[in-house]
Amino acid sequence: MKSTSAVWHPFTQHAVQPEATPISKGEGAWLETADGRRIFDAISSWWVVTHGHRHPHIVTAIKDQVDRLDQVIFAGFTHEPAEKLARHLIAITPPELEYVFFSDSGSTSVEVALKMALGFWRHCGEKRSRILALEGAYHGDTIGGMSVGARGVFNAPYSPLLFDVERIPFPSMEREEAALDALNAACRRGGIAALIVEPLVLGAGGMLIYPPWVLAEMKRVCKTHGVLFIADEVMTGWGRTGTLFACEQANVTPDIACYSKGLTGGSLPLAVTLCRADIFEAHYSTDRTRTFFHSSSYTANPIACAAALANLEIWEREPVRERIAGIARLHTKGLDRFREDGRLTNVRQIGTIAALDIADSDAGYMADIGPRLYQGFLARGLLIRPLGNTIYLMPPYCSTASELDLVYEAISEVADEIE
């Protein structure tokens, strides 16, 4: 049965999924359907909403900016929201990151990072063109992002477009040293331009967590061999792992860092790629062929930049870190009931991210149990979009104890139904 809508939705198989749910309003941690039903946004609408939907300070900043400047070409022109945002980002990230390149999404910020790394080595006169990535990683859906992500159902039809990447085993528990040994061996073989990682957590790869000391060792190995270290903090940034950026927990400074999703508090699409000065300087030349050839029509859109500035002001003015710590405590309490529960396994948490797996079921993103879980939660007024048999939570920071109690009670009920 064909959809009655002309819209083709992302990551959606329209032949098997019911009609999309029309949403007419969002406020705080809640969405409201066109017919007045309320849905708790337990995954922050694909991990982007930090402080809650329609935070008044961000909404006001967007309205004010619309009255001044909506859009301008960013090649040869600039504007105060972008300049101010870049200065603010430089101030809150490690001092070694000195330049900010704007783009529109997490995928494009990764694409920019890969092109920066390859351009850097080319302009330095070194033959380094291979990229390292973790097994199971997800870095977006552009060609470069798919290339460094795990190969499988996500990108199989597009394999002729993808470039080869060397994979490092995921540093799962008691396999950390094997992963680090593989990284060392790959770097020793030479020709490696960069390693790209999701710090501390693989997101779409199953919300798999690894410890900060492993992240620190990966950076140390890269530094030893002169390999650029790219931190894809698109999902892990803006407090999701308990600190502003995940790399902080390992005292790691990336050579290139990608930030998006929560950059605008979830209000508008915007991304940035930050890099060391020498990466910028390798492209800086009177030889115009060394220009960094990347852009989009909406690079550094003034309205999106204004929203991001308002988001950073919220981090300064409101007790955001205390809210994050509170969400983490509520997760710990909520997960405790499932630690000895035979229906669920691999109970895990980092910061505001909580995850657990349905036991005795197919694993992986395409597991048949995923759509059943999704519908079970939606019927209870909850937006939870499992990764196959993995149930994960990543709520907005304004979420309350009573709201998360509803979520954890629903997990138990849905697990009963599935069983």
Confidence at residue 290, expressed as pLDDT on a 0 to 100 scale:
97
> Does 26 reside within a domain?
no
Has residue 419 got a pLDDT over 80? Answer: no
Rounded mean pLDDT of 88-92? 98
pLDDT digits (tens, 9 = 90+) for 255-279: 999 999 999 999 999 999 999 999 9
Q: Give the end of a domain, one of 264, 285, 317.
A: 317
Provide the β-strand partners of residue 28: 53
Q: What distance in Å separates the CA atoms of residue 120 and residue 113, rounded to the nearest whole number?
A: 10
Whether residues 98 and 63 fall in one domain: yes
Q: What distance in Å separates the CA atoms of residue 7 and residue 10, rounded to the nearest whole number?
A: 10
226: its two tokens: 């002169």
> Does 12 reside within a domain?
no
Q: Give the end of a domain, one of 284, 299, 317.
A: 317
Has residue 322 got a pLDDT over 80? Answer: yes
Whether residues 306 and 333 fall in one domain: no
Confidence at residue 125, expressed as pLDDT on a 0 to 100 scale:
97
**In this structure, which long-range contacts are made by residues 220-225, counting pairs with CB atoms below 8 Å and at least 24 apart in sequence?**
221/180, 221/183, 221/184, 221/187, 222/183, 222/187, 222/195, 224/187, 225/187, 225/188, 225/192
Whether residues 173 and 183 fall in one domain: yes
Confidence at residue 17, expressed as pLDDT on a 0 to 100 scale:
86
Q: How many helices (H) and strands (E) does the chain have?
A: 12, 16
* CATH number, position 363: 3.90.1150.10
Confidence at residue 362, expressed as pLDDT on a 0 to 100 scale:
85
Contact criterion met (CB below 8 Å) for 300 and 101? no
Has residue 160 got a pLDDT over 60? Answer: yes
Starting at the edge strand found earlier in the chain, the sheet holding 382-383 runs 23-27, 30-33, 38-41, 382-383
Whether residues 323 and 309 fall in one domain: no
Q: Sorting pLDDT into bands at 50, 70 and 90, what band is 363?
A: confident
pLDDT digits (tens, 9 = 90+) for 378-404: 999 999 999 999 999 999 999 999 999
> Does 45 reside within a domain?
no
Amino acid at the residue 387:
L
> Does 172 reside within a domain?
yes
Whether residues 390 and 275 fall in one domain: no
Phi and psi, residue 354, nearest 5°? -125, 145
pLDDT digits (tens, 9 = 90+) for 183-213: 999 999 999 999 999 999 999 999 999 999 9
Rounded to the nearest 10 degrees, the angle between the axes of helix 56-66 and helix 302-317 is 150
Confidence at residue 2, expressed as pLDDT on a 0 to 100 scale:
67
Cα-based distances in Å from 218 to 211, 246, 312: 11, 14, 29
User: How many distinct structural domains can be found in the chain?
Assistant: 2
Q: CB neighbours of 201 closer than 8 A, spacing ≥ 6?
A: 207, 208, 209, 210, 235, 236, 240, 241, 246, 350, 353
Q: Give the end of a domain, one of 285, 317, 349.
A: 317
Report how far Cα 128 is from the mean position of its chain's Cα atoms.
Answer: 27
Closest CA to 255 of 219, 211, 291: 219
Whether residues 103 and 247 fall in one domain: yes
Whether residues 402 and 289 fall in one domain: no
135: its two tokens: 């097994």
Has residue 71 got a pLDDT over 60? Answer: yes
Confidence at residue 79, expressed as pLDDT on a 0 to 100 scale:
98
Cα-based distances in Å from 19 to 12, 42, 289: 10, 21, 49
> Does 6 reside within a domain?
no
Confidence at residue 327, expressed as pLDDT on a 0 to 100 scale:
98
Q: What distance in Å separates the CA atoms of residue 6 and residue 205, rounded to the nearest whole number?
A: 30
pLDDT digits (tens, 9 = 90+) for 284-303: 999 999 999 999 999 999 99
Whether residues 387 and 402 fall in one domain: yes
Whether residues 241 and 324 fall in one domain: no
Task: Out of 2-16, 64-78, 137-151, 213-227, pick the least confident.
Answer: 2-16
Has residue 38 got a pLDDT over 90? Answer: yes
Whether residues 286 and 408 fall in one domain: no
pTM, entire model: 0.97
> Does 47 reside within a domain?
no
Phi and psi, residue 295, nearest 5°? -170, 170
b/e code 371-391 from CB counts within 10 Å (16+ = b): bbbbebbbebebbbbbbbbbb
Provide the domain limits for residue 375.
319-418
H or E segment at 256? strand 256-259
* CATH number, position 300: 3.40.640.10
What share of residues in the chain are helix, strand, coil (percent, to 5)?
Answer: 40, 20, 45
Confidence at residue 1, expressed as pLDDT on a 0 to 100 scale:
56
Report how far Cα 122 is from the mean position of its chain's Cα atoms.
Answer: 28
Contact criterion met (CB below 8 Å) for 227 and 13? no
* Angle (nearest 5°) at CA 258 between 184 and 351: 85
